Amino acid sequence: MNSQIQAVLENIDKVMIGKREVAELSLVALLARGHVLLEDVPGVGKTMMVRSLAKSFDAQFKRIQFTPDLLPSDVVGISIYNPKTLEFEFRPGPIMGDVILADEINRTSPKTQSALLEGMEEASVTIDGKTLAINQPFFVMATQNPIEHEGTYPLPEAQLDRFLLKIKMGYPSRGQEVEILRRAENGKAIEKIQAVLSVAQLIELQELVQGVYVEDSVKNYMVELATQTRENSYVYLGVSPRATIALMKASQAYAFVKGRSFVTPDDVQYLVPFVFSHRLVLKPDARYDNVTANEIIERIIAKTPVPTKRFAEQ
Amino acid sequence: MKQSLGEFLELAVAYIIIFFILREWLIPIMQLTNTGGFQLFLVFIGLSLALSLFRVHPLLSGFVKFGYITWFIVFIYSESPVFSGKTVPFLLAEWKGNMSSIISGDFGQVSDAFRTVLFLVLIWMLVYLIHHWVSVRKNIFYFFAMTVFFIATLDTFSDYDGKTAIVKVVVLGLMMTGVLFVKRLWLQVDATGNVVGKWRIVIPMLVSVLLVSTVAFFLPKTGPTWADPVPFIQGVTGQDGAGAGMKSVGYSQDDSQLGGPFQGDNTLIFTASSRDRHYWRIETKDTYTSKGWIVSEGSFGKNVYETNTPIMTSLQVGPPENERQIQLDIAVSMPFLIQTYGLLSVSAQNSTLFIQDEQTERMTIEQQIDASKSLSNYTLSYSEPVYSMEQLQLSFPASLETLDSSFDRFLQVPSQLPQRVRDLAFAITQDKTTVYDQIKAVESYFRTKGFRYDKTQAAIPAENQDYVDQFLFDTKVGYCDNFSTSMVVLLRSVGIPARWVKGFAPGTAGPMTDGLREYRITNDNAHSWVEAFIPGTGWMEFEPTIGFTGNVNIDYDIQLDSSEQEELVQPEQKPEQPQQQEQVSDKEQAKSTFSFDKFWTWLKKFVYVWIIVFVLLIISGISLYLQRKTWLPKMHVRAYRKKTADWSTFDSSYHVLLKQLSRIGLRRRDGETLRMFAERVDASLETDEMQKLTAVYEQHVYGKDKQEVDFMKLKESWEYLINRTIS
């Protein structure tokens, strides 16, 4: 495993207990310049995760709590008339941070959602006709509460596509929960951790991730997996080429996290559920047959032949 | 693995039961094949079982068995005691003679000694198989079932009566399966060996088996629910000639109605003390009636011989210096003299006359003093005739046309003889240039064309049917009369004079004492064969019947003494010899001038051997293929040791390993990555070498720049894994 990454993960471990995988995946998304959709109930440590991640890089952490009455300008910022200077002065919104937690994103109106999502995709916002670039690193971790449906605005498929990974937090085990209580006695751990990498170093790492080698046979394998989702009888809408790109980028980042200079089919297989599951639109049949997106992906993985030779030799 | 006393006892019980079951196998075989030495065979079975039971080292065990077989052969078949100087030459001569028979494809010609060896080896293998069944598989059921089936089959289709044998086998088998079942149960529950506890289960089982069998044995039984299947089968296959009822085998004078089944009859007719094996000739017949044999009309003289006076027959005799004697003891009085080939004179008590009928060459014995008292023993003097191969090869068919009219009666065939018999005779002899070769062609015709020897299934010809025609074309099943009559008719159809000879086959040989062997001739040995006339040579005997081997008692001395060794062949009484001679000359010719035709005929000669070899090759090929997981890896290891260690070698060796793993059941699933598979393999083989190899292979396949790797270490891992898959 990459030593710098190792340090970051150990740092997060000081705060988060038993969430190594989530931390690792968040890091993968961060390194791949993607964003994460965390789907889980409140109180399992979503905020703590993002904060500890931000703190480890000494990055600016911003949090947006989405409510139904939140306006796009509350997210991206607004130009306010300054009577002193007789000019409109731009006040940047919380989206202008490095690491942003967009809490309960499905509770706000589509208008506000799309303001955030535009920023996520383009890494820039347009205010009063002016386009402002958002500083790198720009990492959004949106959370979504899966049980509340009353008064929510579910994200449309096209917008879900903008998240690189969808991760579930899950409850801690009994032992882990006891450990959480033990730590809670000693005050807030999040206040105690120090940055292990600078933002500049993070950007450097992001550059390095792009150089991770993906053999053609592995690329082919990714395409094959994507094609399979499009041909599956339970799937109404398969994943887009954007998803395939996302898969490749995530795989590169994951291989990098694991300290490798090349992507293996293991990386791909591991990441496919996180990259694809929120991008699939299932037919009603799937629900009748009690088949979930993850199960479909599992089946596709099981039947798609893994490349064991270089592409040129196949 | 150390055996406990309890285990040993169990095995001993099992082996004792097996011994008795094998005894039940042996009895009918001995009975039906008229083989003696039952006890000696039984001792061999006991010996093999005991060696296996005491877990004697295989080499020592093999040595002991081999020693016993050697002793057995020498004791039974050699005239000299085992520890005399003659034993080794005897064995070598036996070996040589039999090997040449086998090589020349005459499997019928191997000697009794060799058959005995083969049978003993079969028993040896059987005991090994049973040992495997009992001590490894713990299941003897197949052997048991086969025994029941074997006895039931023999009981149904042969003279053997398996009434008591089947009861014995069932009782023994039930006990055996019971004991083994208890043993297996014990193994499954994995209890510690408690001998008393085991026997507590076994004893009630034994008691109930015995009780049930006893009750069953004494209970009244209904008759067979199914009719005897044999007549039914014959009815279906159209061999309803059997309806005429059983006919006793033996020597009868009336042969005008041949055909129909006959039943075994073990009545002893006579015993003969002789150095050699003989065909016992009594009379010949010359007229075939489509149904059987009669004597032709015409005036023939009678010759009267006294004892110790030279007897003249139409047959040849050998050189005087080879004169030998046969002592005959007659058990059932018979009015005719039992003759042999090469007969010179008869010596009996004084005042006995032998009246020879010139037509049939039958010699009636007449007691001058007390006519009511039959002759109980006499001595034949004979010298076995020697036939010259050169002479035989000069017997061109053209010379047959010059024969005088006295041969007409040997060329007689019934006018209603179907044309297809004549056509067949022509077809068989067509491409043979000499009379002798033509006769041999007819003689061996029966051995290759699907004919079958069976005493009980010979049909009786219908009213308008010819006996020979029916046998040659319709039934193809019969006994000596069918074969010999057919051969005579076929020979006559192509103009070769031939006659039908009646008498006895050589009989059962006993052990050799003082250079003489006692032959017991029973009614079962009543036999018929063929004599044919060869221009320039005279009458010779031929044996067309399947399962009969003519006279194989070869005297090598004659060959050695003979100055014309090349041309001389053994007397026709020993049909094996000329064939060998031909064999030799064939080979010599092949050596001097190789021609494709010769090679092709040589190939054709052994067509069955080639077929067997071919089938064996295919079978071994298939089994090698099926067993490739055991030997292929070794080849790979050897091959890869020679190759240079680089990436491409590593790549291919890794795929070889994947293939070998799939052969032993570790198959990579489609969606399984190499790493997952490697973890599975390592878990299953309890190593971590596969993951090491796979990590390097991943880098090779998915990576961009290759790093330095220690190929020697990888090779070690690879060899280790490959070897793990075999062990």
B247 inside domain: no
Start-to-end Cα distance in chain A: 30
CA distances from B504 to A54, A278, B35, B381, B688 (A): 114, 99, 18, 18, 78
At residue A266, the pLDDT reads: 92
- So what's the pLDDT on residue A265? 92
Angstrom distance (rounded) from CA B472 to CA B451: 8
Q: What is the pLDDT of residue B237?
A: 55
Place of tokens 């009918």: B28
For testing the chain B interface, which of A260, A263, A264, A272 should be mutated: the one with the most B CBs within 10 Å? A264
In a domain, B567, yes or no: no
Contact check, Cβ <8 Å, A301/B672: no
User: Does one domain contain both B188 and B294?
Assistant: no
A262-304 pLDDT, tens digit per residue, is: 999 999 999 999 999 888 888 888 888 888 888 999 999 999 9
B323 and B356, same domain (yes or no): yes
| Contact state of A215 with B702 under an 8 Å Cβ cutoff | yes
Chain B residue nearest residue A269, CA to CA = B673
Could you tell me if residue B510 is inside a domain?
no
Using the beta-carbon criterion (under 8 Å), do A306 and B672 form an inter-chain contact?
yes
Residues from chain B contacting residue A217 (CB–CB below 8 Å)? 701-702
Candidate from B658, B673, B704 with C-beta closest to A265: B673
- Given this model, what pLDDT does residue B706 score? 73
Query: Tokens in use for A242?
Result: 């954007």
Q: Which residue of A has its CA nearest to B674?
A: A308
Structure tokens at B361: 């060459």
Q: Could you tell me if residue B445 is inside a domain?
A: yes
Nearest CA in chain B to A309: B701
At residue A89, φ and ψ (nearest 5 deg) are -110, 135
Same structural domain, B111 and B195: yes
Q: Which of A219, A267, A306 to mutate to test the interface with B (most CBs of B within 10 A)?
A: A306
d(CA B645, nearest CA chain A) in Å: 19
Residue pair A254/A28 in contact by the 8 Å Cβ criterion: yes
Closest-CA residue of B relative to A218 is B702
The answer to whether B722 touches B640, Cβ cutoff 8 Å, is no
Q: Which region, left, alpha or beta, applies to residue B610 given φ > 0 means left and ψ of -120 to 50 means alpha?
A: alpha
Q: Are residues B607 and B680 in the same domain?
A: yes
Q: Measure in Å the smallest separation between the Cα of A309 and chain B Cα atoms.
A: 6
- Residues of chain B whose beta carbon is less than 8 angstroms from a beta carbon of chain A are 658, 668-676, 698-699, 701-705
CB nearest B703 (choices: A213, A266, A309): A213
Residues of A with CB under 8 A from a CB of B: 213, 215, 217-218, 261-266, 269, 301-310
Residue B684 distance to chain A (closest CA, Å): 20
- pTM (2 d.p.): 0.48
Alpha-carbon distance of B463 to B459, in angstroms, equals: 12
For residue B561, what pLDDT is reported?
Answer: 40
The CA–CA distances, whole Å, from B49 to A75, A174, B3, B12, B65 equal 95, 67, 17, 9, 11
Q: Do residue B66 and residue B127 come from a single domain?
A: yes
What is the nearest CA distance from A37 to chain B, expressed in angstroms? 27
Please tell me which of the candidates A218, A301, A303 has its beta carbon nearest to residue B702: A218
> Is the residue at B32 inside a domain?
yes
Q: CB of A132 within 8 A of CB of A124?
A: yes
Q: How far apart are CA B542 and CA B487, in angstroms?
A: 9
Residue of B nearest to A266 (CA): B673
H or E element that contains B174: helix B163-189
Contact B674 A308 (CB under 8 A): yes
CA distance B604 to chain A (A): 51
Distance from the Cα of B673 to chain A's closest Cα (Å) equals: 6
Q: What is the pLDDT of residues A176-185, one digit of tens each?
A: 889 888 888 8
Parent domain of B493: 388-501+528-553
Q: Which of B667, B676, B701, B707 to mutate to test the interface with A (most CBs of A within 10 A)?
A: B701
Residues of B in contact with A307 (CB under 8 A): 701
> What is the biggest distance separating any 2 CA atoms in chain B, rounded to whole angstroms?
120
Cβ of B704 and A266 within 8 Å? no
Record: contact A306-B670, CB cut-off 8 A: yes
Alpha-carbon distance B715 to nearest alpha carbon in chain A (angstroms): 20
Total Cβ atoms within 10 A of residue B236: 10
Query: Which CATH number belongs to the domain containing residue B540 in this structure?
Result: 3.10.620.30
- The answer on pLDDT for A8 being more than 80 is yes
Q: In this structure, are B473 and B376 located in the same domain?
A: no
Buried b (16+ CB within 10 A) or exposed e, A163-189: bbbbbebeebeeeeeeeeeeeeeeeeb
Q: Does B702 contact A301 at a Cβ distance shorter than 8 Å?
A: no
Residue of A nearest to B655 (CA): A308
Q: Do B36 and B113 have their domain in common?
A: yes
Cβ burial, residue B613 (10 Å; 0-12/13-18/19+): exposed
Nearest Cα of chain B lies from the Cα of A169 at a distance, in angstroms, of: 25
Residues in chain A within 8 Å Cβ distance of B676: 266
Contact assignment for A266 to B673 by CB distance below 8 Å: yes
Residue of B nearest to A220 (CA): B702
Tokens at residue A243, please? 């998803």
Residues B393 and B496 in one domain: yes
Q: Tell whether the model's pLDDT for residue A93 goes beyond 60.
A: yes
pLDDT tier for residue A45 given thresholds of 50, 70 and 90:
confident
| Residues in B touching A215 (Cβ below 8 Å) | 701-704
Which are the contacts of B399, defined by CB distance < 8 A and separation ≥ 6?
A: B435, B535, B536
Q: Distance, in angstroms, between B672 CA and closest chain A CA?
A: 7
Q: What does the radius of gyration of chain A's CA atoms come to, in whole angstroms? A: 20
Contact A303 B671 (CB under 8 A): yes
The answer to whether A265 contacts B674, with C-beta atoms less than 8 Å apart, is yes
Q: Among residues B365, B386, B407, which one ends one of the domains?
A: B386
Tell if the CB–CB gap between B699 and A308 is shorter than 8 Å: no
Q: How many domains does chain B divide into?
A: 4
User: Which of A213, A215, A304 comes nearest B671 by C-beta?
Assistant: A304
Asked if A305's CB is within 8 angstroms of B673's CB, the reply is: no
Whether residue B450 sits in one domain with residue B311: no
Among all residues of chain B, which has the CA nearest to that of A216?
B702
The ipTM, to two decimals, is 0.85
Q: In sequence order, what are the residues at sequence separation of 6 or more whose Cβ sits closer than 8 angstroms to the Cβ of residue A314?
A: A217, A307
Q: Do A302 and B671 make contact, defined as CB atoms within 8 angstroms?
A: yes
In a domain, B248, yes or no: no
Distance from the Cα of residue B670 to its chain's centroid: 55
For residues B52 and B183, state if they share a domain: yes
- Lookup: tokens for B70: 């050697």
B377 and B398 assigned to the same domain? no
Residues of A in contact with B674 (CB under 8 A): 264-265, 306, 308
B330 and B454 part of one domain: no
Nearest residue on chain B to A270, judged by CA atoms?
A: B673
User: Chain A residues with CB inside 8 Å of B662's CB?
Assistant: none
Query: Cβ separation of B698 and A264 shorter than 8 Å?
Result: yes
Q: What is the pLDDT of residues A222-270, one digit of tens each?
A: 999 999 999 888 888 888 998 999 999 999 999 999 988 899 999 999 9
B144, part of any domain: yes
State which of B386, B416, B442 marks the end of a domain. Answer: B386
Distances (CA, A) of A4 to A9, A70, A197: 9, 38, 8
Task: Give the up-direction half-sphere exposure of residue B631: CA atoms within 13 A in the CB hemisphere.
Answer: 7
CB spacing of B675 vs A262 below 8 angstroms: no
Q: Which residues in chain B have Cβ-Cβ distances shorter than 8 Å to A304?
A: 670-671
Q: Which residue ranges of chain B lie beneath pLDDT 50? A: 1-2, 239-248, 552-592
Cβ neighbour number for residue B710 with a 10 Å cutoff: 10
Final residue in a domain of this structure, among B486, B518, B553? B553
pLDDT tens readout for residues A148-164 = 667 778 887 777 888 99
Which candidate in B702, B705, B706, B707 is best for mutational testing of the A interface (most A CBs within 10 A)? B702
pLDDT for the residue A148: 63
Give the integer Cα–Cα distance in Å for B443 and B446.
7
Asked, for residue B660, whether it belongs to a domain, the answer is: yes
**Nearest-CA distance from B626 to chain A in Å?**
26
| Contacts A–B by Cβ distance under 8 A | 54
